[in-house]
Amino acid sequence: MRTKGFAKHYYFMLAPGFVWLILFSIVPMFGIVIAFQNYNPGQGVFGSEFIGLETFKYMFTLNDTMNVFYNTIFIAIMKIIGNLIVPLVFALMLNEVRYMGLKRSIQTIVYLPHFLSWVILGGVLLDIFAYQGPVNQMLGAFGVDPVLFFGRADLFPFLVIGSDIWKEFGFNTIIYLAALTGINPALYEAAGIDGANRLKMLWHVTLPGIRTTAVLLAVLSLGNVLNAGFDQIFNLYNPLVYSTGDIIDTWVYRAGLLNLQYELATAVGLLKSVVGFILISLSYYLAYKFTNYRIF
Q: Does 19 bind other proteins (CB under 8 A)?
A: yes
CA distances from 206 to 83, 91, 96, 255, 293 (A): 19, 11, 11, 49, 19
Residues 189-228 that bind other proteins (CB under 8 A): none
**Cα 7 from Cα 148, distance rounded (Å):** 60
Q: Which residue spans within 78-191 are E strands per DSSP?
A: none
The yes or no reply on residue 262 touching other proteins (CB under 8 A) is yes
Q: Is 170 exposed, middle or buried (0-12, 13-18, 19+ CB in 10 A)?
A: buried
146 near other proteins, judged by CB under 8 A: yes
Contact yes or no for 151/241 (Cβ under 8 A)? yes
Q: Which stretch binds other proteins (CB under 8 A): 92-100, 184-192, 226-234, 255-263?
A: 255-263
For residue 35, how many other CB atoms are within 10 A of its CB?
22
- With 0-12 / 13-18 / 19 or more C-beta atoms within 10 angstroms meaning exposed / middle / buried, residue 113 is middle
Query: Of residues 13, 29, 41, 53, which one binds other proteins by CB under 8 A?
Result: 41
Radius of gyration of the chain (CA): 24
**Binding region for other proteins (CB under 8 A) out of 157-165, 200-208, 217-225, 249-257:** 249-257
Closer Cβ to other proteins, 168 or 263, answer by number: 263
DSSP H/E element including 50? strand 49-50
**Shortest distance, CB of residue 41 to other proteins, whole angstroms?**
5
The count of C-alpha atoms lying within 13 angstroms of the C-alpha of 104, restricted to the half-sphere facing its C-beta, is 3
**Considering only 106-114, 223-231, 236-244, 280-288, which stretch makes contact with other proteins by CB under 8 A?**
236-244
C-beta separation of 173 from 142 below 8 A: no
Binding mask of the shown chain, residues 20 to 39, with x at each position contacting other proteins by CB under 8 A: --xx----------------
258 contacts other proteins (rule: CB under 8 A): yes
- The region of 67-75, 92-100, 250-258, 269-277 touching other proteins under the rule CB under 8 A is 250-258
From the number of C-beta atoms within 10 Å of its C-beta (0-12, 13-18, 19+), residue 159 rates as middle
Which of the residues 49 through 68 are near other proteins (CB under 8 A)? 58, 61-64
Between CA 83 and CA 3 the distance in angstroms is 41
* 239 binds other proteins per the rule CB under 8 A: yes
Of 67, 107, 224, 243, the one binding other proteins (CB under 8 A) is 243
- Identity of the amino acid at 168: E
Q: Rule CB under 8 A: say whether 8 interacts with other proteins.
A: yes
111 vs 156 by CB, closer to other proteins = 156
Question: Looking at beta carbons only, is 2 or 98 nearer to other proteins?
Answer: 2
Name the residue nearer to other proteins (CB basis): 157 or 256. Answer: 256
Q: Which is nearer to other proteins, 86 or 130 (CB)?
A: 130
- Positions that interact with other proteins (CB under 8 A): 3, 6, 8, 11, 15, 18-19, 22-23, 40-44, 58, 61-64, 126, 130-132, 146, 148, 150-153, 238-240, 242-243, 255-262, 264
